[in-house]
Amino acid sequence: MKTDNLIFGRNPVYELLQTNPERITKIYIQKGVRIDQKIYDRIKESRIPVSLVSREKLKSMVGNVNHQGIVARISPIETVSASEIIERVVKNRGIVAVVDHVEDPQNLGNIIRTTEVLGGLGVVIPSRRQAPLSETVVKASAGAIFHIPIAVVPNIASFLRNFKKEGGFVVSVEIGGENIFNFKFPFPLAIVIGGEDKGVSRLTLKESDYVVSIPMKGKTGSLNAASAFAIALAFAVRDMG
């Protein structure tokens, strides 16, 4: 499966120029806007085509966002099969992030970034009622989306059943579970994080071996999906030794 994307902003474009310039097919720069010389140098070294365009052209491409005068068109994001993710995680007794209908692209991008940074071996997302792999997700992931396998599956519960058949354990992060501070994570591991409004779905919870919760002491009483996932993944990585 492949998804077309644009990324924008000087730091995201420069990071991609540093790490995966081959994924960039063309760069658009707003006329009259000064771009850092280091960006121009990397563009020249990578021999990437550049078009100088109007502000209106960039707006038509990415909408009313702070693009900082630069937009890069990137080659489609390639995803892998669910079976590839399962095999990799089980073989290495590692961790896969399972995203259960997170609709905020910023949250999804941050979850992907956290998974990659902390050594997760893959990310699984559903094909429906879920933030797509858009340019906003790419930017929020800070390029991590290009460095970690991602599988898009029709049914999260079915994926988890298959994962457990191969020896994996499923831990969902949800209200009413065991205190995460006292929990010992098992491996190979799937950490499930639910959507912003509804949390982990009922069918997904039925497939969970354990449910853990993060104690809340502040007045706000809640965390967004990306923050809750980051905490859970950090505890799981600790338990890997």
**Is the omega angle on the peptide bond into residue 49 within 30 degrees of 0, that is, cis?**
no
Read off the DSSP letter of residue 21: G
pLDDT in tens, 5-32: 788 999 889 988 988 888 888 999 999 9
Give the model's pLDDT for residue 19.
82
Tokens of 106: 């910023």
Give the model's pLDDT for residue 26.
92
Give the model's pLDDT for residue 1.
52
| Ramachandran angles phi, psi of 175, nearest 5° | -60, 140
| Gap between the Cα atoms of 124 and 219, Å rounded | 32
For the chain, give every domain's residue range. Answer: 2-77, 82-240
Q: How many CA atoms lie within 13 A of 195 on its CB side?
A: 17
Of the candidate CATH numbers 3.40.30.10, 3.40.449.10, 3.40.1210.10, 3.30.1330.30, the domain formed by 2-77 belongs to: 3.30.1330.30
pLDDT in tens, 52-82: 999 999 999 988 888 999 999 887 778 999 9
Report the predicted TM-score, pTM, of the whole model to 2 decimal places: 0.78
Give the model's pLDDT for residue 14.
92
pLDDT in tens, 93-107: 999 999 999 999 999
Instruction: Tell the residue number behind the tokens 């702070």, with chain if given.
Output: 66
pLDDT in tens, 149-182: 999 999 999 999 999 999 999 999 999 999 999 9
| Gap between the Cα atoms of 29 and 163, Å rounded | 45
CATH architecture of the region 82-240: 3-Layer(aba) Sandwich (3.40)
Most confidently predicted of 125-134, 143-152, 206-215? 206-215
Give the model's pLDDT for residue 2.
52
Give the model's pLDDT for residue 12.
87
| Gap between the Cα atoms of 96 and 120, Å rounded | 6
Which SS3 state, helix, strand or coil, does residue 74 take?
A: strand
Residue 205 confidence (pLDDT) above 70: yes
Asked if the domains at 2-77 and 82-240 fall in one CATH topology, the answer is: no
Of the pLDDT bands very low, low, confident and very high (cuts 50, 70, 90), residue 3 is: low
Would you say 210 and 174 are in contact if contact means Cβ atoms under 8 Å apart? no
Residue 61, exposed/middle/buried by CB under 10 A (0-12, 13-18, 19+)? middle
Of the pLDDT bands very low, low, confident and very high (cuts 50, 70, 90), residue 43 is: very high
Read off the DSSP letter of residue 115: H
